[in-house]
């Protein structure tokens, strides 16, 4: 077949025709231009959602750091009241997750996300003023409500901007903010509570809420200018880039806009379609097994304090637990994007990894060994979290954009709800062994791994293997 010429700097240059796999015939895409477009998308999206999640995780997890810094004694919290304060965030999060993504699918992420970020930052800062348990409980519920719109939104945004082989590493970059906030959040908390304790007559744990909450509000005021909306509507891209952004997703069978043919689904119909998707009800309980185990992060300072460290040093010693997770999860997620069809099996392996170290923590009472095991349990949780999100995003890729938004929010909200049992597994009466908690995690890792194996066997393989090829035009110049 004769190929046309293109003009390059006034010269006619022959074109070379290559074939790359895709699901349907599309207008040819220049791979050089596509690579440039992905870099531009990354430049806007990834730093923005990284920073947002960093502050989101800090503001939700600092209650554990404040607890060992004197909050429990100052407010005369019983273990039961502290547990209620922790789970009320979970309940607020579960309540608002799906409605938030319903709103997001019909608004602009660049406006919606900064608004809810400012609101949760304000709630976090106001927590510095609490004087009794009921105040703390009410604010934790509100914090959950306002933060509920963020993580499901990011899952949805990544699913409508990136192709399947690009998603695992992006989900990990997003989640690495949580890992780093866990690592350096403890260091920052130690510095704030030790250096500001008593300044202006304010206790260190109150300064912790105030400083971190006000900083979140400040970031919310500027992040609008860096966030992207949707591929077909984002004002940060040129018209040509918007066309290419949508076309490259269609190559992977990913829907990046509402159902064509006239009218978009109503929210009720979209919710019904999501709820009736059988795939969702396999991956959601599996994901709940991962996020239920994530509740242990609220107790890392307490668990580490059981090793004999002071309150401040216990905060510092939580950092290595997260850094190990960072170094374990990073290569796994990059490998997953090179072999996307194996994500299900990799999830099974990750759950088995978590099961083994949870079982060892249950059986071995040596505190130093248990600290090492905590590092590997945390690695399994965060690696499984990134792989679980990309696996779900790929499985739901072909569905209508609003159905996908609601489906991902349902999975994320129910995942958060799983922390109800996770936070109940470490009462102070079980210290220092916490056999019930680690024994339960052993069982849930097994159950979650079995579900992911089932999903790998039952889910269609076609999202990873296309039936047609698309001509991609490359210049020989």
Q: What is the 3-state secondary structure (H, E, C) of 141-188?
A: HHHHHHHCCHHHHHHHHHHHHCCHHHHHHHHHHHHHHHHHHHHHHHHH
In a domain? residue 230 = yes
In a domain? residue 477 = no
Structure tokens at 197: 């304790």
In a domain? residue 472 = no
Residue 345: which domain range?
A: 11-467
> Coil, strand or helix: which one is 14?
strand
Distance CA 104, CA 405 (A): 8
In a domain? residue 474 = no
On whether the CB atoms of residues 31 and 40 are closer than 8 A, the answer is: no
pLDDT per residue, tens digit, the chain (477 aa), is 444 444 444 444 343 333 334 444 455 677 888 899 999 999 999 998 888 888 888 888 888 888 878 898 889 888 888 888 888 998 898 888 888 888 887 788 899 999 999 999 999 999 999 998 999 999 999 999 999 888 888 888 888 888 888 888 888 888 888 777 766 777 788 788 888 888 888 898 999 999 999 999 999 999 988 888 888 888 888 888 888 888 888 877 666 554 433 344 577 888 888 889 899 999 999 999 998 888 787 677 777 766 666 566 666 777 788 888 888 988 998 888 888 888 899 999 999 999 999 999 889 888 888 888 989 999 999 999 989 988 988 887 666 777 887 888 889 888 878 877 777 787 777 777 788 888 999 999 999 999 999 999 998 765 444 433 434 434 343
In a domain? residue 134 = yes
Number of domains in the chain: 1
Q: At 253, which CATH number?
A: 1.20.1250.20
In a domain? residue 3 = no
Q: How far is CA 365 from CA 66, 319, 368, 423, in A?
A: 27, 22, 9, 21
In a domain? residue 2 = no
């Amino acid at each position: 077949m004769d190929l046309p010429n293109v003009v390059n700097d006034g010269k006619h240059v022959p074109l070379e025709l290559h074939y790359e796999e895709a699901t349907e015939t599309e207008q040819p895409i220049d791979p050089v231009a596509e690579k440039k477009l992905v870099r531009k998308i990354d430049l806007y999206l990834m730093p923005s959602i990284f920073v947002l999640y960093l502050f989101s995780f800090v503001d939700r997890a600092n209650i554990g750091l404040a607890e060992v810094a004197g909050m429990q004694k100052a407010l005369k919290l019983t273990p039961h009241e502290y547990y209620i304060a922790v789970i009320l965030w979970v309940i607020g999060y579960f309540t608002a997750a799906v409605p938030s993504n319903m709103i997001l699918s019909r608004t602009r992420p660049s406006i919606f996300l900064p608004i809810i970020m400012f609101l949760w930052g304000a709630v976090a800062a106001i927590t510095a003023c609490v004087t009794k348990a009921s105040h703390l409980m009410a604010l934790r519920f509100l914090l959950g409500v306002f933060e509920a719109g963020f993580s499901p939104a990011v899952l949805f945004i990544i699913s409508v901007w990136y192709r399947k082989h690009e998603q695992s590493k992006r989900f990990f970059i997003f989640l690495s903010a949580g890992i780093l906030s866990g690592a350096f959040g403890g260091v920052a908390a130690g510095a704030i509570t030790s250096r500001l304790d008593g300044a202006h007559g304010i206790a260190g744990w109150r300064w912790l809420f105030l400083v971190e909450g006000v900083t979140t509000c400040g970031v919310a005021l500027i992040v609008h200018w860096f966030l992207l909306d949707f591929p077909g509507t984002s004002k940060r891209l040129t018209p040509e880039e918007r066309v290419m952004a949508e076309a490259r997703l269609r190559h992977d069978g990913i829907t990046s806009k509402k159902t064509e043919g006239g009218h978009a689904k109503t929210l009720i119909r979209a919710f019904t379609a999501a709820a009736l998707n059988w795939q969702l009800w396999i991956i959601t309980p599996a994901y709940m097994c991962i996020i239920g185990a994530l509740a242990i992060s609220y107790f890392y300072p307490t668990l580490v304090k059981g090793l004999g460290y002071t309150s401040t040093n216990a905060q510092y010693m939580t950092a290595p637990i997260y850094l190990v997770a960072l170094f374990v999860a990073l290569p796994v997620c990059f490998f997953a994007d090179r072999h996307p069809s194996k994500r299900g099996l990799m999830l099974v392996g990750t759950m088995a990894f978590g099961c083994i170290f949870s079982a060892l923590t249950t059986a071995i009472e040596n505190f130093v060994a248990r600290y090492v095991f905590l590092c590997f349990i945390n690695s399994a949780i965060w690696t499984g979290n990134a792989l679980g999100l990309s696996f779900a995003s790929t499985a739901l890729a072909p569905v209508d954009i609003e159905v996908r938004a609601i489906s991902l929010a349902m999975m994320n909200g129910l995942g958060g709800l799983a922390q109800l049992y996770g936070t109940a597994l470490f009462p102070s009466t079980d210290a220092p062994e916490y056999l019930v908690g680690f024994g339960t995690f052993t069982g849930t890792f097994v159950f979650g791994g079995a579900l992911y194996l089932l999903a790998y066997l039952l889910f269609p393989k076609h999202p990873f293997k296309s039936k047609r090829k698309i001509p991609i035009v490359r210049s020989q110049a």
